[in-house]
């Protein structure tokens, strides 16, 4: 087996893209991030590949394990064809330690995440147990409430609070950043959608991480006082249809398995389970 640490995102892309694409929906996170670095159009925040950790383990010149870490975030992993080999994981961990590259956490398919955490040996906790879903067509019976529009500059009086409240689900502190550019960035991409009902913004959702056939839907958020009115179902259904109309073959999203309501809602829209994923932090 051979470990490779890359300092060039183009070389990394050449070695791993087809491997990841073979399980595109499962790999929407690592693939989407890889495309950001490879295209080099956006180096805001964590998106500059000069700061990334890009690794593979190969057996007989074939990639068996892919790892991408975009600091300050954890390591995303994929075992080719989901064939998990403990010796491959041990080689990866030993090589990372040799290069003095600590791993703050790992995000990947559940079985692989558990195996990596066991071999890594440090105390750890599971921040979130997620399920990846994929949609090929929107259920036409979903009630389309309100009207959809892109977020704009005028939304900045409430968007920072929505974004930070959403982030608390992923371990954020809910505190609004004083740097408004952080939130203006979300608007500038023309990927953040707002659902309006009678002229009032009631929900948001974002499209992100475009891959060859898929696009991911994230930042699905409805303020507490607008919940249980069908707004989340409506915006996810409408944004999903927008993506399909743009030519994507499918949409992918992550859900927190601790939230049975959202999991039920997405399945009603037409999303079907792909696999479970864990977000683990090493203490």
β-pair partners for 268 = none
**What pLDDT sits at residue 170?**
60
- Say if residue 173's pLDDT is above 60: no
SS3 134: strand
- Say if residue 25's pLDDT is above 90: yes
Average pLDDT over residues 115-130: 95
- Say if residue 19's pLDDT is above 90: yes
**What pLDDT sits at residue 169?**
67
In contact, 211 and 31? CB cutoff 8 Å: yes
Q: Among 57-61, 95-99, 151-155, 262-266, whose mean pLDDT is lowest?
A: 262-266
| Confidence category of residue 171, pLDDT binned at 50, 70, 90 | low
Place of tokens 């956006």: 42
Main-chain phi, psi angles of 163, to 5 degrees: -65, -45
In contact, 155 and 194? CB cutoff 8 Å: yes
Most confident listed range (43-47, 165-169, 224-228): 224-228
Q: How far is residue 30's CA from residue 66's CA, in Å, rounded to a whole number?
A: 9
Cβ-based neighbours of 240, under 8 Å, separated by 6 or more: 135, 138, 217, 251, 269, 270
pLDDT in tens, 237-277: 999 999 999 999 999 999 999 888 888 999 999 999 999 99
- Residue (of 272, 192, 191, 268) closest to 230 by Cα position: 268
Average pLDDT over residues 213-218: 94
Mean pLDDT value across the chain: 93
Cβ-based neighbours of 239, under 8 Å, separated by 6 or more: 148, 193, 205, 207, 217
Average pLDDT over residues 35-60: 87
- Say if residue 174's pLDDT is above 90: no
In contact, 67 and 53? CB cutoff 8 Å: yes
**What pLDDT sits at residue 34?**
94
């Amino acid at each position: 087996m051979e470990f490779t640490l890359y300092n060039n995102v183009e070389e990394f892309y050449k070695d791993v893209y087809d491997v990841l694409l073979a399980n595109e929906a499962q790999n929407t996170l690592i693939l989407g991030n890889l495309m950001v670095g490879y295209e080099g159009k956006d180096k805001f925040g964590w998106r500059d590949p000069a700061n990334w950790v890009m690794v593979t383990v190969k057996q007989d010149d074939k990639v068996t394990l892919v790892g991408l870490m975009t600091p300050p975030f954890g390591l995303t992993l994929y075992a080719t064809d989901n064939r998990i080999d403990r010796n491959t994981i041990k080689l990866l961990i030993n090589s990372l330690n040799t290069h003095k590259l600590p791993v703050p956490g790992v995000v990947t398919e559940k079985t692989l995440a558990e195996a990596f955490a066991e071999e890594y040996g440090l105390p750890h906790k599971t921040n979130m147990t997620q399920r990846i879903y994929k949609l090929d067509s929107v259920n036409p019976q979903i009630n389309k409430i309100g009207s959809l529009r892109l977020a704009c500059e005028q939304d900045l009086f409430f968007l920072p609070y929505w974004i930070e409240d959403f982030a608390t689900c992923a371990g954020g502190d809910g505190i609004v950043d004083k740097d408004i550019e952080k939130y203006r960035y979300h608007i500038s991409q023309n990927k953040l959608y707002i659902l309006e009902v009678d002229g009032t913004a009631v929900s948001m959702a974002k499209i992100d991480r475009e891959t060859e056939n898929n696009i991911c839907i994230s930042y699905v958020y409805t303020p507490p006082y607008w919940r249980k009115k069908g707004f989340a179902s409506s915006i996810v259904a409408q944004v999903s249809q927008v993506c399909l109309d743009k030519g994507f073959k499918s949409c992918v999203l992550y859900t927190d398995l601790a939230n049975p309501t959202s999991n039920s809602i997405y399945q009603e829209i037409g999303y079907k389970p792909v696999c479970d994923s864990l977000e683990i932090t090493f203490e």
